[in-house]
Amino acid sequence: MSSSSANLERKESMAWFQRTIEITCPKSACCYLATGPILSKFPELRKIKSGVVNFHLDGPGGSLSINENADPTVRTDMDGAVERMGKKGVKSETKDRLAFKSALFGQSLTLPVSNGSILFGTWQGIYLCSWDTGNTKDKPVRKLIVTAFNDPHALVKHTTVRPPKRGVHDITGSVVQSFGLSNQSNGSKRQKTNGAVFVMVRHTSASMGLSAVKEKARTALDNAFDSVVPSRWNEEFFIHTYEGPDDMPGHVKSSLFGVSAVIPVTNGNVDLPSATGLVLGEHRDYSNYRKVAGVAIRGEISVSKEICLKKEEAKGAASDLAAYLAESMKEIGNLDIGLCTLIAKAESSALAMVPKELSEAKSPAMTTYFCNLTSSQTGLSFAGKSLTIPISKGRLQTGGQTPQYLSAAKGGEDSILLHVLVMGSPKK
């Protein structure tokens, strides 16, 4: 078969799916285990041999997370933890606090799929969280945009990492090497491809994400976890305490930092800033191993590039990053269905979805709220280094919100450095 015929066969075997669904929550303020209701309304998942699925909460006032699918006391305790973190970040009861509580867990999940199933661990499920305690409506309806991509040529891998102790550990090398990739600047000689790796840790008391990998930064993040989610909560209000004093705090830390990551790949290399990598948060005192699963997509990226904005251009983009991307990146406008992943590249930067009225404020409020968690810029680590936003009919679907670039560096949003990864199905 000629190379052109092989490429044609590869393109014809790809498929994108997207559907907007509605889920009724049992209460206006709760963590709802919604795995069954969500997946039952997205039957296209069964068509995915190897690929990814993204769940995006369309609208403010709620979050999406992955955590325990068994004991309901975990969800009750999660409600109490978010209420306390919300008060620590935003001192007064305002709309800002509701926006901040939503940003703590985030509003988007991007997960690897194999043989029609998300690569969950045994005890993992999807939490659909509503945080509006002032809403008197008994059963609010939440809208989700579900986007999935099938590439039967993608590489599915399972690996195991063994953290030596409780703490935050750099696992970049061990994970990417399982896909035959390199995290070195000179690249892998075996595989000169572009694409992305979608990974998740398959446990509910461990976390995973992109973060600074130097030992000093990882130690600071581990200390921040213990400061934001203190063990004294076991005595103060946690119900789920019968698996040890490190268990329920571990569940909260897992949702706070997340369990999945998107890693761009260029010419066979992991394309991340030199000081950034994939870290594992081990939140239990004793753990022998952690299972990690992932899917590598190769050669199906519409665009993967770095954007550097400075001065006035950066200030305008910081208040409404979605509008800037829509105007400056024609690749987004050319797609019928797709996903856009943004990665903040500066060391003291992060990304969060915020209501437009909050993003347009003169002061960088969301940055302040995250830093309030730890009384330092380490709090920005809990906002996250990346965001994935669905694309539909050439437009980013942000539900009345916008991705905001958060920076604790001197000068704030005077500069923006992003990696933008866009993939999808072109308009016909």
Question: pLDDT digit string (tens) for 221-231?
Answer: 999 999 999 99
Res 134: pLDDT: 65
> Which one is predicted more confidently, 114 or 301?
114
Distances (CA, A) of 229 to 33, 66, 86, 367: 22, 17, 12, 19
Helix (H, G, I), strand (E, B) or coil at 326: helix
Mean pLDDT of 194-201: 94
- H/E element, 355: strand 349-355
- Measured in degrees and rounded to the nearest 5, phi and psi for residue 331 equal -60, -35
Q: How many CB atoms sit inside 10 A of residue 312's CB?
A: 9
Q: For 126-158, b where at least 16 C-beta lie within 10 A, e where not — what string?
A: bbbbbbbeeeeeeebebebbbbbbbbeebbbbe
Return mean pLDDT, the chain.
89
Question: pLDDT digit string (tens) for 280-322?
Answer: 999 999 877 999 999 999 877 778 888 888 867 777 777 678 8
Mean pLDDT of 39-51: 97
Check whether 11 has a pLDDT greater than 60.
no
DSSP single-letter state for residue 107: S
Question: Which DSSP string do the residues of 161-223 spell out, in sequence order?
Answer: E--SSSEEEE-HHHHHHTTT-B-STT--SS----EEEEEEE--SSEEEEEEE-SHHHHHHHHH
pTM: 0.94
Asked if 150 and 48 touch (Cβ cutoff 8 Å), the reply is yes
